Structure 1
Amino acid sequence: MTLTSYDATAAALDLLAGRPLVVLTGAGLSTDSGIPDYRGPGSTARTPMTYQEFVSGPPARQRYWARSHLGWARMHQADPNPGHMALAGLDGAGALRLLITQNVDGLHERAGSTTLVALHGRISEVVCLGCGAVTERSALQDRMGRLNPGHLQRFADVLARPDGDVELEETSDFVVPACESCGGVLKPHVVFFGENVPADRVERCFAAVDALGDEGGALLVAGSSLAVMSGLRFVRRAARAGVPVVIVNRGATRGDELADLRLDVGCSDFLPALAAQARR
């Protein structure tokens, strides 16, 4: 059922009290850190670049990296918000069995969460599609800056999009660095649309959800519309096993009919209250 009042928050806190938790987070959790989401209220519809498009040739990669060079400079400055800090507190209190995040911004880690699976990877890392070398995004950012002087200043006012992207069409003159080890194509170490989440990550998450049934636990979804299967499958798994599901999200989600409680409230409002309850 969908509840939006003070009573809904109280009911959710009561249902979750004392239970071990698996928490699934999405882009809605990071909006209070200034990072736009894909499908929240007021969000502009957009189609992210697919893996197939990224590997199609240099023009697509110019378009991606020219935008990402700008977007990373902004995302890198974002700070964890009260929702991130509350989940780190739940982790520290031993109430969290696993935090599964669909976000690539790294804000959970910066807040102090350690019992975590970054389902779609981290934008702070870069992988070479040739030799497989993984390097720090900050080093690539410096290289792009040297190869494209003035790019950050020239387009400082372009509109930000989710996941470190921006609205920019002038990309044909952007110089994209190659892998320093083998000269191969560099890609952010994240799961693009059109790619599969690595199987070991999925299995770890399934195992944590399955264990909730034996431990009397619950699955909490925070800030995800569950529009893609990579997150929705865990809600379906929990519901089939009779594990209570609580969804906290601004706007409807694809998993609403599976939820025991559905709260249309902000993550930064609900999660600190949940963390405070766990400390008592």
Structure 2
Amino acid sequence: METLAAARAAVQDVVPLLRGRRVAVLTGAGISTDSGIPDYRGPDSPPRNPMTYQQFVGDEAFRRHYWARNHVGWQHVHRTTPNAGHRALVRLEDAGVVTGIITQNVDLLHEDAGSRNVIDLHGRYDRVICLQCGRVISREHLAERLDALNPGFVESVAGDVADVEIAPDADAVIEQTSHFRPAPCEFCGGVLKPEIVYFGENVPRERVDRAFALVADADVLLVAGSSLTVMSGLRFVRRASKDGRPVVIINRGPTRGDDLATVKLDAGTSETLTALAEALT
């Protein structure tokens, strides 16, 4: 891990690009790793095969497996707290440098840190929607129903939740789920789904339009902690580059947007964003 002193030296090429300019920020799972939420594609991340939207809606067994794992994993995310990278972005927003954040994360840590203008591109882990009637309920309320339907399940598969491997979408890596009982919608009996955009599912158009508008209104796009592997994030880098806006990428390891970056820092987000906040506020 980089020291703050090393990060201060590393950002010297970035500071002139950001000083006096309006900066839109795009964040990915890498910004939350220091809060204890692993990323999908970092250099040390294990292979992951997230459930697709088609699997979830088309197969009851997949849904049962998902909800069993999520019932364990969401409690871990629920207990996480913002780290220095999140707090640095709040500081930059308060100083008028950062105009807003587009995040690919569903963990709400930007909001918890105090960021005000956040677009949760892929949704948020704390809400659940019925695919039939469209009702939205809190994940906490659903947890109470799932506990009642599956007494002792979390303890039986996990013991201490902190010892279970958790994915960025609040999915716990456990195998024995065939005995788990998912809950239907209490209003219409329909299928409940986390208000999270799955692989194979489209981000709502209105959300995408707001994100493009944020990028268009800024002078610079700063990417923090994203490998830009999926198009939902890469498209904003491509748009900024096409429009002639500088793109700064801070990420451990390569990204799909490296060839479009004005400056790329192969570094951790906590130390680097903290160093930027020190230099620009």
1:200 to 201, 206, 212: 206
CA contact (8 A) 1:49 1:192 kept: yes
Residues of 1 paired with 2:202 and 2:102: CA distance? 16
Residues of 2 paired with 1:218 and 1:103: CA distance? 21
**CA positional deviation for 1:211:** 2.3
CA contact (8 A) 1:35 1:163 kept: no
CA contact (8 A) 2:27 2:103 kept: yes
Residues of 2 paired with 1:16 and 1:180: CA distance? 50
Residues of 1 paired with 2:265 and 2:8: CA distance? 10
Q: Deviations over 1:140-162 (max 9, x none)?
A: 11111111111111122432222
Partner of 1:140 in structure 2?
142
Residues of 2 paired with 1:133 and 1:5: CA distance? 46
The 5 Å alignment of 1:81-120 reads: 81-120=83-122
Partner of 1:65 in structure 2?
67
Give the AA of the match of 2:238: R
**CA positional deviation for 1:17:** 1.5
**CA positional deviation for 1:277:** 2.6
User: Could you tell me the TM-score, scaled by structure 1's length?
Assistant: 0.94
Give the AA of the match of 1:177: A
Give the AA of the match of 2:267: V
CA contact (8 A) 2:24 2:214 kept: yes
Residues of 1 paired with 2:183 and 2:92: CA distance? 41
**CA positional deviation for 1:14:** 2.4
Residues of 1 paired with 2:34 and 2:233: CA distance? 21
Partner of 1:253 in structure 2?
255
**CA positional deviation for 1:27:** 0.1
Partner of 1:190 in structure 2?
196
**CA positional deviation for 1:94:** 2.0
The 5 Å alignment of 1:208-223 reads: 208-212=214-218, 217-223=219-225
Aligned to 1:83, what secondary structure does the other structure show? helix
Residues of 2 paired with 1:155 and 1:86: CA distance? 37
**CA positional deviation for 1:7:** 4.4
Partner of 1:178 in structure 2?
184
Residues of 2 paired with 1:111 and 1:5: CA distance? 21
Count how many residue pairs are aligned between Structure 1 and Structure 2.
272
Partner of 2:48 in structure 1?
46
CA contact (8 A) 2:99 2:117 kept: yes
Partner of 2:241 in structure 1?
239
User: What percent of counterpart residues are identical?
Assistant: 56
Residues of 1 paired with 2:235 and 2:11: CA distance? 25
Residues of 2 paired with 1:43 and 1:250: CA distance? 11
The 5 Å alignment of 1:114-129 reads: 114-129=116-131
In structure 2, list runs of 5 or more residues that go unmatched.
1-5
In structure 1, list runs of 5 or more residues that go unmatched.
none
Q: Deviations over 1:177-197 (max 9, x none)?
A: 111111111000011011111
Residues of 2 paired with 1:221 and 1:277: CA distance? 18
Aligned to 2:277, what secondary structure does the other structure show? helix
Residues of 1 paired with 2:90 and 2:60: CA distance? 40
Give the alignment's Cα RMSD to 1 decimal. 1.3
* 1:26 and 2:32 are equivalent in the alignment: no
